[in-house]
Amino acid sequence: MALEIKAPRGTNDVLPADSYKWQIVEDAARRVSDRFGYREIRFPTFESTELFERGVGDTTDVVQKEMYTFKDKGDRSITLRPEGTASAVRVCLEHGLFGGLMPLKAYYVISAFRYEKPQAGRFREFHQFGAELYGTSSPQADREVIELAASFLKELGLGEISLNINSIGCPECRKNYHAALKEYFASHAEDLCETCKGRLDRNPMRILDCKSPVCKGIAADAPLILDYLCDDCNAHFETLKASLTDAGISFNVDPHIVRGLDYYTRTVFEFTDPASGLALAGGGRYDGLVSELDPKMKVCGLGFAAGLERLVGVMEDRGLFPELPRKGAYIAAMGQKAVPAANKLATALRALGCRAETDLMERSLKAQMKYADKTNARFVVVIGDNEVESGKITVKDMAGGDPIETTLAEAAAIMADRM
């Protein structure tokens, strides 16, 4: 009977023929992070639910509607991480990293889980490359994090990605702003969705980020935070803009960006693909998050996360993945006597760091050659009784180079030299 079980809705399989695309994106993430001095951090796929309730914010869509939360067999409430920032802060607190060298710079490549309605570019399991920077309130830190994200996109060949930035101020400027928002939304209260009605008193800024079309329509005319910034937040935003301009990074100020997570203060930003309208990366400053999780600690933080499925999708649409060049060697064996010699040559090639394959299907020579071609082998060697006896072989270059006459003993080094 055929397997009836399918992958869960909103998840993706990456097949062997496509995994190189993911590796290109992930390798770029690691390379660019290293250039800015960020080192990798790894943490569990699941955490205590409370970490995200407190760290992401219990009035956010992510926490209110989208978390994969369950009781484990020990009756603990566990949640599959919906993002990386809260976990990264938890790691730094738990291991005392905020007491060490500052600024502290870390990056991660993770899976994340949100129970969202699957659609183009939106999945229930997705992957993020994220970077976090702790311990500095300087606007130069905001510029660096944005520059890191922009360099990553550039490294992938993704030009023409729009960068939108905004400042959502600090708790001080938000006092007046919240009051203005409350007044505005109260006059539309009966039309808001049920979740937003509940947000009206507790966190009216969240309504600006609601995905419901009616709430979106109402939010379009709401007061703008930029009109309520205090002097310090204003100065921070002005310096950031000047510094981005100095760095040659173009941006638009979009006063409507608030971002879906509660912890942001001051700078927020989003990189968007103009063709599809999809957000490819987003982030901002979150000076209040660390003390939210540990009131004794006052540590500024900021960071961003980029969605890898969306990046791979946009790169496919734009034809940015290169054709894979021919690589490695296929050592065909004709007859039982040739098998040990073929295996030996393959082993020698692998010891030199090269890809080498031999027949595992007991196929005819013609079928072996077809396999070699389909797997994109660069060199092909055919070993039969004559080759075993004389020790002499011919290396065929599938990339169009001249055949090379050599010996079984020297073939590995000769091929390795050319790969």
What residue ranges bind ligand AMP (CB under 6 A)?
Answer: 83, 114, 116, 121-123, 126, 128, 260, 279-282, 305-307, 309-310
Closer to ligand AMP by Cβ: residue 135 or 283? 283
Q: Is the peptide bond before 139 cis (omega within 30 degrees of 0)?
A: no
Minimum distance, C-beta of residue 347 to ligand AMP, in the bound complex (Å): 43
Closest CA to 233 of 147, 145, 137: 137
Distances (CA, A) of 201 to 197, 205, 212: 8, 10, 19
Minimum distance, C-beta of residue 158 to ligand AMP, in the bound complex (Å): 12
Query: In the structure encoding, which two tokens stand for residue 234, read together?
Result: 């204003």
Closer to ligand AMP by Cβ: residue 312 or 329? 312
Cα angle for residues 101, 266, 32 (degrees, 5° grid): 50
Minimum distance, C-beta of residue 279 to ligand AMP, in the bound complex (Å): 4
Minimum distance, C-beta of residue 96 to ligand AMP, in the bound complex (Å): 26
Closer to ligand AMP by Cβ: residue 110 or 300? 110
Closer to ligand AMP by Cβ: residue 11 or 234? 11
Span between the terminal Cα atoms of the chain, in Å: 45
Minimum distance, C-beta of residue 93 to ligand AMP, in the bound complex (Å): 20
CA distance 217 to 198: 18
Minimum distance, C-beta of residue 324 to ligand AMP, in the bound complex (Å): 26
φ, ψ of residue 337 to 5 degrees: the values are -65, -25
Cα angle for residues 166, 171, 174 (degrees, 5° grid): 65
Minimum distance, C-beta of residue 350 to ligand AMP, in the bound complex (Å): 38
Closer to ligand AMP by Cβ: residue 53 or 83? 83
Closer to ligand AMP by Cβ: residue 116 or 397? 116
Minimum distance, C-beta of residue 124 to ligand AMP, in the bound complex (Å): 7
Closer to ligand AMP by Cβ: residue 313 or 328? 313
Closer to ligand AMP by Cβ: residue 116 or 254? 116
Closer to ligand AMP by Cβ: residue 123 or 379? 123
CA distance 305 to 247: 21
Answer for the pair 301, 285: CB distance below 8 angstroms, yes or no: yes
Chain-centroid distance, C-alpha 68: 20
Ranked by CB distance to ligand AMP, the top (closest) residue is 307
CA distance 405 to 383: 13
Minimum distance, C-beta of residue 284 to ligand AMP, in the bound complex (Å): 9
Minimum distance, C-beta of residue 310 to ligand AMP, in the bound complex (Å): 4
Spell out the residues 6+ positions from residue 269 whose beta carbon is closer than 8 angstroms to its own.
146, 149, 163, 164, 165, 166, 251, 257, 282, 283, 284, 304
Closer to ligand AMP by Cβ: residue 151 or 368? 151
CA distance 356 to 376: 11
